[in-house]
Amino acid sequence: MNDAQKIISNLAKDIVQRGLSVPAVFFLESTKYVSFIGSQFLVFLGPIATCFINNQKYYDFTTLLEKKSNIDFLINEIERINLNIK
C-alpha cells in the first residue's frame, strides 16, 4: 500500500467512525467525474483554508482528489470498512 492509499484509508476510517458512510458514498459517487475541477477549486481556496488547517495535509488532499481512481478507491474503502464493522 502506497502513501496515497494509506491517507485515503485513514480518511475512510474517519468517515465510517463518524457514521457518514452513506452520505459520503452518495456525494462521492455523484461528483467523482468532476473531482479534478473540485480539486482545482480547493487549490484556489488554499491560501484562505490553510489559515485554519495544516498546509501540507491540505495540498496532499487536493492532489489526491485530482485522480478519479483515488475517488473510486475511497468509495471502496468506505464500503469495505463499513461492512467489516457491521
How far is the C-alpha of 20 from the C-alpha of 22, rounded, in Å?
Answer: 6
CA distances from 83 to 6, 13, 77, 79 (A): 19, 12, 10, 6
How far is the C-alpha of 56 from the C-alpha of 45, rounded, in Å?
Answer: 14
Going residue by residue through the chain, which has 86 residues, state the pLDDT in tens, using 9 for 90 and above. Answer: 788 889 899 999 999 999 999 999 999 999 888 888 888 898 898 888 888 888 888 888 888 888 889 999 999 999 999 988 76
